[in-house]
Chains A and B, each alone.
Chain A
Amino acid sequence: MARRTRHQVLALFPVLALAVTVTGCATKVGTGSGTDAGSGISLVEAGKLTTCTHLSYKPFQYSEGDKTVGFDVDLVNLVAKDLGAEQKIFDTPFETITSGEVFNTNKCDLAAAGMTITDERKEAIDFSEPYFDASQALLVKKGSGITDLSGLKGKKIGVQLETTGEKYANDNSAANGYTVIQFEDLPLMETAVRTGAVDAAINDNGVLYDYVKEFPDTEVTKEFDTGESYGIGMKKGNKALLDKVNAVLKKANENGEYDKIYEKWFGKKPEKK
């Protein structure tokens, strides 16, 4: 009887030891392993350039089979090649990128997500030089007769969460008397136009033009020149990677690589500024 008691109590000690070791071994968030990819750049995962993005945003990033493809993907591949690393894509909600959360928790090295450079976002993340000029555009059902925001009085306009299009729609809502309906991502917002849940939707011209090609029962009736451009996002203060990305972008502009990628996704050469 006595021996059995001792064994039962002793059995607890391994459990205790396990509990203590587990808490001791838990690594703190933020210790990116990462090896030096040369010139003082450390990556969150050795040998890989981890890109955060939000799918899908055709033609900048979207899924084809089980691969992620797109304009942004090809552009970042140039950086990856230069670093001798392989690009790895991480799909995450858009607001986790614009708020910098993905960098603060070391989920990725940079973010390419058709992301417009804004002062508000600059407070949370660093941006590369602009790599794409964009404007907002209005998506409607074909034949709706809505050609401007003023035509939406008393109607509903769809926007995508945390986009510059959402901001533009909100800024102009009082003047035009429409209701803003917010969607989690682009495809749902675009579908809502087709189902009639909203009378129009506003988002970047690049993606909407791509959409109407695929769904000819919709059309883009207006572009709003907002003078915005896309940038690649990075952790605040990550100067080494920022310089590298800018250098690669500059080189691509000079040696025609950028034009090649642009033509591949948009069917024409970019307009020279």
Chain B
Amino acid sequence: MAMSKRQRAKAFRGAQYALLVVVAIVLALVADWGEIKRAFFNVDIAVSMFPNVLTVSLVNTLIYTALGFAFALLAGLLLALMKLSPVGPYRWIATVYIEFFRGIPALLVFIAVGFGVPLAFGIDFDIYSKVMLSLGIVGAAYMAETIRAGIQAVPKGQIEAARSLGMSQGRTTITVVIPQAFRIILPPLTNELIMLTKDSSLIYIIGLAREEYELTKFGREVLSRSPSLTPILVIGLCYLLITLPLGYLSRYLERQTGGKKISTPESTGLGVSA
């Protein structure tokens, strides 16, 4: 008996559900639940991590991310303007910078800023400056593209109207274009913030004092003394404490700006950090 197209689709879907159930059952039977409980859900270890995990490492992660984001925003804006500039060398420098720092792992940049730059230039600076520079240099490369796309998404009519009112090019850019561009790119900017939060997990490589530990370093430190992987779970949850709300914020802002989407490497899934 011939099945209609609808019936075929239903049967196919039914078979997929069945497959999922079978795989879930197989996994549930194969997994060693006692071992999983011991490995991930050791309550004593989890409790011992508080309050420092929140008051020290979570706070540090937030500080480092904020510092990096501030630098990346300013540097990214500068790079975006350079990329859109009529001056050839500006465009070239911006392109090289963006392609380079998007193309190498963030960890290498951190090592270079933390050790290479001080060695090469004979100067050293404090941990917050190093963190701000490392995260900022990497973040700027990603933000530059986002900001550039935002600037170009501002309706041409706005620029024409401003110019016909007698505003200079510079005045137009600063007072008319950039504020509107930022409203457009608020959603992708929140994504950048999430990325930077996760990148902050690599800061340990620069060398931290105990009070400077961010979440991942703190977790690994506890992990090295524990017969369990519970610290990993706790740290993961702490990161979600930061990134999930940011995700919601991003979607909320997207709705607010009328869903005006711009295509950035991050939104298309092609641009990923280290």
Contacts and interface: CB of A to CB of B under 8 A. Distances in A.
Contacts of A12: 15-16, 19
A156 B210 CA distance: 12
B115 A192 contact: yes
Contact of A180 (B3, B111, B209): B209
A8 to B, nearest CB: 6
A158 B127 CA distance: 14
Task: Classify the secondary structure of B's interface with A.
Answer: helix
Contacts of B26: 19-20, 23
Contacts of B206: 197
**Interface range on chain B: under 10, 10 to 19, 20 to 34, or 35 or more?**
20 to 34
A175 interface: no
B30 A2 contact: no
A174 to B, nearest CB: 13
A16 B26 CA distance: 11
Interface residues of A, number: 35
Interface in B10-24: 11-12, 15-16, 19, 22-23
Contacts of B119: 191, 194-195
B271 interface: no
Interface of A: 1-2, 4-5, 8-9, 12, 15-16, 19-20, 23, 26, 95, 98-99, 156, 158, 161-162, 179-184, 188-189, 191-192, 194-198
12 contacts: A1-B2, A2-B1, A12-B15, A19-B19, A20-B26, A23-B26, A95-B220, A158-B207, A162-B224, A184-B204, A189-B207, A192-B207
Closest 10 pairs between A and B when the two form their complex, measured CB to CB: A195-B118, A1-B2, A95-B224, A196-B124, A183-B207, A2-B2, A12-B15, A5-B3, A181-B207, A191-B115
Given A179-B209, A191-B119, 19 more contacts: A1-B2, A5-B3, A5-B7, A8-B12, A12-B19, A16-B19, A16-B22, A23-B30, A26-B30, A95-B223, A95-B224, A162-B224, A182-B208, A188-B115, A189-B207, A191-B115, A197-B115, A197-B118, A197-B206
